[in-house]
């Protein structure tokens, strides 16, 4: 039992040191004036292999619409536990969503990618609206989305 605990402690120590430190990061998402209802946005991260690593924010509180955020939904099955405590209101056309959070250092320059899936009622779904590698070089460099996001950038 003791050896099991020791193994667990060692593996945890080896796995998480990078995640222990973090830096404040601001994610700024500005929507275009697409002329529709508020957009649902899922902000999430995939690792170097493309596997879902976790969610950072969900704009839009009704789970019945999450299937329209199709890449996020496919990765999570729409599991609300993935976004409990990090869910807010949908974002209106032309508005800017600004999220400030402590993001684990280990996510930068390690092949992780930040994605945004977007959906608007009665308009076309836009999975992978934004896909931007998390790198120190990419800080402060805005990118445009495909359909609803006019620009997205992360700053430290």
Partner 1 sequence: MRKTLTAISLIALLPAGVALADDDYEKTARGQSQSRDAVMQLARENGWTVREIEMEDGRYEIEGRDREGRKIEAKLDPVTLRVLKMEHDVEEDDDDYGASTRNPAPAGTVAPPQNGLFGNGAPPKVQVN
Q: Which residues make up the interface to partner 1 (CB under 8 A)?
A: 16, 19-23, 37-38, 45, 53-58, 61-64, 78, 80-92, 95-105, 107
Is 5 in contact with 21 (CB distance < 8 Å)?
A: no
Coil, helix or strand at residue 109 = coil
Nearer to partner 1 among residue 9 and residue 102 (C-beta)? 102
State the nearest-atom distance from the C-beta of 2 to partner 1, in Å. 26
Nearer to partner 1 among residue 1 and residue 71 (C-beta)? 71
State the nearest-atom distance from the C-beta of 117 to partner 1, in Å. 15
Nearer to partner 1 among residue 13 and residue 16 (C-beta)? 16
State the nearest-atom distance from the C-beta of 73 to partner 1, in Å. 11
What strands lie across the sheet with 126-133, from one edge to the other? 87-88, 52-59, 39-46, 113-120, 126-133
Question: CA–CA separation, 142 vs 153, rounded Å?
Answer: 4
- The tokens describing 33, both together, are 């004036």
State the nearest-atom distance from the C-beta of 132 to partner 1, in Å. 15
C-alpha closest to that of 129 among 113, 141, 140, 107: 113
């Amino acid at each position: 039992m003791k050896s099991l605990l020791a193994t667990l402690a060692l593996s945890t120590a080896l796995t998480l040191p990078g995640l222990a430190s973090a830096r404040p990061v601001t994610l700024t998402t500005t929507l275009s004036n697409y002329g529709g209802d508020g957009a649902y946005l899922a902000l999430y991260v995939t690792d170097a292999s493309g596997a879902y690593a976790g969610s950072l924010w969900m704009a839009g509180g009704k789970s019945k619409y999450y299937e329209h955020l199709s890449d996020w939904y496919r990765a999570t099955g729409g599991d609300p536990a993935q976004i409990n405590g990090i869910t807010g209101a949908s974002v209106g056309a032309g508005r800017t969503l600004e999220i400030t959070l402590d993001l684990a250092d280990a996510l930068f320059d390690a092949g992780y990618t930040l994605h945004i899936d977007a959906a608007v009622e009665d308009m076309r779904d836009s999975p992978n609206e934004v896909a931007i590698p998390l790198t120190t070089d990419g800080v402060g460099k805005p990118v445009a989305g495909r359909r609803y996001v006019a620009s997205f950038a992360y700053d430290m």
